[in-house]
Amino acid sequence: MEVVKVENVTRTFKIGNIETQALRDVSMTIENGEFTTLVGPSGSGKTTLLQLIGCLDQPTSGRIYINGKDVSRLNRNQRADVRRGTIGFVFQFFALIPTLTAYENIEMPLLLVGMNGVERHKRVTHLLESVEMTERAHHRPDQLSGGQQQRVAVARALATEPSLILADEPTANLDTPNGAQVMDIMTRLNQETGVTFVFATHDPRVIKYARRVITLRDGRIIENNVAQKVGAGV
């Protein structure tokens, strides 16, 4: 089943009288359970494409479908509803709430969707175990290493059981051992839960883990290849 379908998408940004095409007639699909990486140099369009898939932006032309639903022309509130129910995000800079503990950061999306206290506790406890952070549950972000913060961010992204996780440069601020641990955990969660992961990165350490690599250049997809093998080690 297709989780993501992109049809002839163009995204143009206009500053004053100058127009820049970040994406040019891009088409692609991502199937349920994939572990896919969008790669390319700075300015290639990979982050723009990730933002469009994540309903953080709208295409200038073309269509984007998430789980069969056309999200291309939804208004801001409608896009927020799609994100809340379908998509989890992992960001380069972790984006944790600094005054909340690891437990509370993971719990926050569950509060927003109205899950009751017993179910919230069960879900957060399970997620902390999944990302190997049980012993740090009551630590705030400033008491955690970068790798630990990113693991909390991964758990938070999975909290509402989305069908799609989007990660933008998830290891960019991590050293090699912490980057490897985060990628190992996400690979395992993909295999155990079947949730679809899509990364935007230029980091060869992350690309090694991908089962499909989609390469962009100058706003166009120039390669769309199934990887020869899943990488082992970042």
Residue 230 has pLDDT above 70, yes or no: no
Pairing of strands 87-90, 164-168: parallel
Q: In this predicted structure, what is the pLDDT of residue 14? A: 87
pTM of the model: 0.89
In 3D, which of 77, 53, 49 has the Cα closest to residue 65?
A: 53
- Helix (H) or strand (E) holding 19, with range, is strand 18-31
pLDDT in tens, 104-154: 999 999 998 889 999 999 999 999 999 999 999 999 999 999 999 999 999
Using DSSP, state whether 87 is helix, strand or coil: strand
64/204: higher pLDDT: 64
**Yes or no: is domain 2-226 CATH 3.40.50.300?**
yes
Residue 66 has pLDDT above 60, yes or no: yes
